[in-house]
Amino acid sequence: MDDADRRLLVAVQRDASVSQAELAEQAGISASQVSRRLARLKEEGVLRGIVGVLDPALAGLTCSAIIRVRLKDHAAASVRTFRDLIDRMQEVTLCLMTTGETDYLIKVVARDLPHFQEIVQMKLLRCPAIAHMESAIILEHLKDTTELPLPR
């Protein structure tokens, strides 16, 4: 990845909906290079996709929470059961395996607090692989970005 690729990726992260001419100007390359470079970056896996980023509240999802999960054990079957559940849950927008006392951190979005309670009680607490969960309702998003700081 060269400097032009980095500048192009910075521009795409900020707003992928702008025209290729605008991306080219921001990246300091020709418009014809934009599509070729983006295709190559997608093929290499650097650029996983180009998506629209929604405002959860304006999309009707007014409750978000971070949930710390500890599994009963780390046997392959338990891990697979938990991961399969997470894969099926559209309400989970982020799942991270972590070190320390918590095995996973997950972010859940819900319509409101009663919907969040339903998600916890009807889905997560019924998972036999989960030994312990602790949730924290998100009160305010101080920073929520998909932009990565690209190394030089």
pLDDT tens figures, 28-39: 999 999 999 999
51 occurs within a structural domain: no
Question: What is the pLDDT confidence band of residue 79, given thresholds at 50, 70 and 90?
Answer: very high
Mean per-residue pLDDT for 41-65? 95
Confidence at residue 81, expressed as pLDDT on a 0 to 100 scale: 98
77 occurs within a structural domain: yes
76: CATH: 3.30.70.920
Same domain, 90 and 25: no
49 occurs within a structural domain: no
103 occurs within a structural domain: yes
Same domain, 18 and 81: no
Same domain, 67 and 38: no
112 occurs within a structural domain: yes
Domain count, the chain: 2
| Domain ranges, residue 21 | 3-43
In the predicted model, what is the mean pLDDT of the chain?
96
Torsion of CA 25, 30, 32, 37, to 10 degrees: -80
122 occurs within a structural domain: yes
Pick from 77, 74, 69, 72: which is nearest to 107 by CA?
69
Confidence at residue 152, expressed as pLDDT on a 0 to 100 scale: 84
Confidence at residue 78, expressed as pLDDT on a 0 to 100 scale: 97
pTM of the model: 0.88
Same domain, 68 and 132: yes
Same domain, 68 and 36: no
Same domain, 71 and 131: yes
Same domain, 85 and 20: no
Same domain, 16 and 72: no
